[in-house]
Amino acid sequence: MPVGVAGFDINSSCVSFISALEVAAGLLNCGAYRRIAIVSADIASRGIDWDHEESSLIFGDGAACAIVERGDGRSGIIASLIEMYPEGSELCEIRAGGTRRNPRSGVSDSDFLFHMQGKPLFRFASSLIEDYFSRLLQKSSLQLSDIGTVVPHQARSSFP
């Protein structure tokens, strides 16, 4: 890479690539850049509690890369909607390592690892998907009949 090329880290767990794509689209659309390389790698195995079967069986390591550039408007991201729901944060979390807990007192080694409550998380996410999808359709100016397939992110391999 040439000297002076901008680069930064976007770390948002399993949605890091999607988050980077969202940021890249904004930088391309405002004219800041002509072409952007996204390189994304997630080493989930380092943060998994291997004694917690519900999360250890479904996460793995992965990587992806893409070169994205501003096009002529005939293709690309029509709309995106990235949201978080703090009221469900205890269902899918890493309890320690952030600014909320002192890393040297009152925490166990397990608190630094990923924990998920799969069935409650699925129920919580299911309660949100219809309203979320309606907002995304409205933002995109599309109708449900315009969509052929929807594949939502779901971490569980079996449903409750």
What is the tens place of the pLDDT at every residue in 16-34? Answer: 899 999 999 999 999 999 9
91 vs 16: CA distance, rounded Å:
19
Tens of pLDDT, residues 85-133: 899 989 988 888 777 666 667 778 888 888 888 889 989 999 999 999 9
Within-domain flag for 156: no
Range of the domain at 129: 78-146
155 vs 134: CA distance, rounded Å:
22
| Cβ atoms within 10 Å of 148's Cβ, excluding its own | 5
> With a threshold of 0.85, does the pTM exceed it?
no
Sign of the Cα torsion 108, 112, 118, 121 reads positive
Contact 112, 94 (CB under 8 A): yes
Residues 51 and 90 in one domain: no
Tens of pLDDT, residues 29-54: 999 999 999 999 988 888 888 888 87
Residue 57 CB partners (closer than 8 Å, separation 6+): 157
Within-domain flag for 160: no
Residues 86 and 49 in one domain: no
Q: Which of 28, 43, 75 is the last residue of a domain?
A: 75
Residues 55 and 101 in one domain: no
